[in-house]
């Protein structure tokens, strides 16, 4: 089934991104502070009241869940994506760079909000990042609709919180299937690796 897109001009996309990215950045800082704070009761009570008031003001005008932006028919502007969404405070965010030939990479920071075992990244967060990175490679920069069929994640050792790097690439194609691989690394080398099979949906095949 096709996604629902609101088409924006390049100028409007730039305006929307510039408006909502700093808000999401501020909320990311708030999330980190909320997790790590040892403030007293009065400070917490005041913060809660202020946050509730801001939340109510932001909810006065919202767009439906499931609506994304597309810029003049080009790559989607995925502000709400859980991995790369510049407008989504729970996204690190992962900024993906494409080198061509089905290869991409990203350097990003995973802080306190992504902790599993003490001082280590939650395994599910590593899987989220790799699923997206492999998908970016397989879809050639989200330019072709190819979605995760299966993904296998292998944890080689604990991934420390902090600055990390992920790489992904296409290993092969077979009909409507694209095979991709990827890794997450810290300064000492690879911590997690993944293999995935990505499928071109039937509606995309029918429109060709």
Per-residue pLDDT of the chain (208 residues; tens, 9 = 90+): 455 667 888 888 899 999 999 999 999 999 999 999 999 999 999 999 999 999 999 999 988 776 677 777 666 788 889 999 999 999 999 999 999 889 999 999 999 999 999 999 999 999 999 999 999 999 988 778 889 999 999 999 999 999 999 999 999 999 999 999 999 999 999 999 999 999 998 776 666 5
| Bridge partner residues of 166 (DSSP) | 106, 184
Domains and CATH numbers, the chain: 1-91 (no CATH), 97-206 (3.10.129.10)
| Bridge partner residues of 121 (DSSP) | 115
Pairing relation of β-strands 177-186 and 189-199?
Answer: antiparallel
Given this model, what pLDDT does residue 122 score?
Answer: 98
* Distance of alpha carbon 194 from alpha carbon 109, whole angstroms: 19
Given this model, what pLDDT does residue 153 score?
Answer: 98
User: Which candidate, 108, 163, 96, 99, places its Cα nearest to that of 133?
Assistant: 96
Q: Which two tokens stand for residue 91?
A: 């996204």
Given this model, what pLDDT does residue 1 score?
Answer: 42
Given this model, what pLDDT does residue 78 score?
Answer: 83
- Omega of the bond leading into 93 within 30 degrees of 0 (cis): yes
Q: In what order do the strands lie in the sheet with 67-71?
A: 4-8, 67-71, 76-77
């Amino acid at each position: 089934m096709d996604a629902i897109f609101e088409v924006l001009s390049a100028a409007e996309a730039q305006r929307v991104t510039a408006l909502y990215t700093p808000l999401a950045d501020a909320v990311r800082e708030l999330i980190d502070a909320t997790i790590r704070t040892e403030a007293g009761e009065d400070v917490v009570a005041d913060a809660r009241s202020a946050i509730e008031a801001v939340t109510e003001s932001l909810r006065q005008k919202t767009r439906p869940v499931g609506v994304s932006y597309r810029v003049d028919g080009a790559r989607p502007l995925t502000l709400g994506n859980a991995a790369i969404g510049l407008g989504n405070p729970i996204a690190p965010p992962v900024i993906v760079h494409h080198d061509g030939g089905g290869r991409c990479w990203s350097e990003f920071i995973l802080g306190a909000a992504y902790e599993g075992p003490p001082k280590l990244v939650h395994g599910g967060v590593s899987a989220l990042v790799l699923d997206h990175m492999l998908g970016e490679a397989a879809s050639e920069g989200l330019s072709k609709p190819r979605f995760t069929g299966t993904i296998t994640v292998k944890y080689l050792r604990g991934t420390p919180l902090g600055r990390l790097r992920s790489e992904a690439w296409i290993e092969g194609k077979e009909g409507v299937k694209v095979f991709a691989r990827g890794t997450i690394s810290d300064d000492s080398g690879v911590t997690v690796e993944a293999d995935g099979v990505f499928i071109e949906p039937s509606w995309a095949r029918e429109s060709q």
